[in-house]
Amino acid sequence: MSEPSSECAAILANVSAYLDGELEATACAAIEAHCATCSSCARLVEGLRRTIGLCRHAGTVPIPEDVRARARDSVRRLLDDRARGG
Amino acid sequence: MGGTDSKAEYATLVRDAATGDRDAMERLLIRAQEVAYRFSLLVCGHPEDAEDVMQDALLKTYEHVGRIDDPSAFRTWLYTTVRNACLMKRRRRIGEPTSFDPVDPVRVVDPAPSADERLIEQGMDRRLRAALNRLPPAHRMVVVMREMDGLSTKDVAAVTGLSEANVKQRLHRARLALRRDLEQR
């Protein structure tokens, strides 16, 4: 494994912006060129990409059905109550 | 449904609900409670508070809808309201006597799955859930809003009172910590 260089430090500082699509094309190309020769940074970028993917998937997980059913019941009770002037 | 409903979807529901559309109001109020449940569980880590935070979100959203000038700001308002309700719960907990009961007899008799386990059963990655729990709450909050619920950096900044640069910095540190945690276990 190669020793971390100043380029590695720059990757570490900018990797989130890179993965969020906030860097300009030349900066992205520099990161990709560095990762092609630095296995440590390539692992970092891939690891973060997987981590972000896991988080985003977690955002699509529904809440338990019984909690949702209770929420629905509370809403209907509230709306019925207010409709009756409560 | 997860937490990634767009700002525009909320704004449409808010507009329709404000004109008296009961179906839109019902859907909006259910969403508000879903946000409250997930935030309370994932960020604050006190599932026992979730029902109260949901009720708070329900009533405040109902009262707020008719007074909204800018429907596109609703989602930020909702997260701010839910965050504040969770903070109030935390403040009330400070100073409460600590229980030294060695076991909870109810749990022994009826080992119902915890709220965490139930989210995991629904499809959330178990290791990610554990890694999230090990993050500082301030970082966990940014991850939940930004990565899981899809709020923009600007909206997370509005909810938390942080600068956008600070939100990005916290998210970056949280991602690095989560990745390290996930790869070590």
Asked if B2 reaches chain A (Cβ–Cβ under 8 Å), the answer is: yes
Residue B102 placed within a domain: no
Are residues B89 and B2 both part of a single domain? yes
Question: Any chain A CB within 8 A of the CB of B130?
Answer: no
Q: How many domains does chain B have?
A: 2
| CATH code assigned at B26 | 1.10.1740.10
Query: Quick one: pLDDT band at residue B134, thresholds 50, 70, 90?
Result: very high
Q: What's the rounded Cα separation, in Å, for the pair B132 and A25?
A: 32
Q: Which of B3, B30, B123 sits opposite A71 (nearest CB)?
A: B30
Do B85 and B57 form a contact (C-beta atoms < 8 A)?
yes
Please report, for the domain that includes residue B144, its CATH number.
Answer: 1.10.10.10
B87 and B174 together in one domain: no
Tokens 């990709």 appear where? A32
Average pLDDT, chain B: 85
Please check whether residue B116 lies inside any domain of the structure.
Answer: no
Q: Pick the residue from chain B with its C-alpha nearest to A22.
A: B168
Min Cα distance B47 → chain A (Å) is 12
- Tens digit of each residue's pLDDT (9 = 90 or more) over A32-68: 999 999 999 999 999 999 999 999 999 999 899 999 9
Distance CA A27, CA B88 (A): 44
pTM above 0.95, yes or no: no
- CB A75 to CB B30 under 8 A? yes
A49 part of contact set with chain B, CB < 8 Å: no
Task: Give the three-class secondary structure for B118.
Answer: helix
User: Is B106 among the domain residues?
Assistant: no
Q: What residue numbers bound the domain in which B149 lies? A: 126-185
DSSP, res A59: T
Rounded to 5°, the CA angle A49-B132-A1 comes to 45
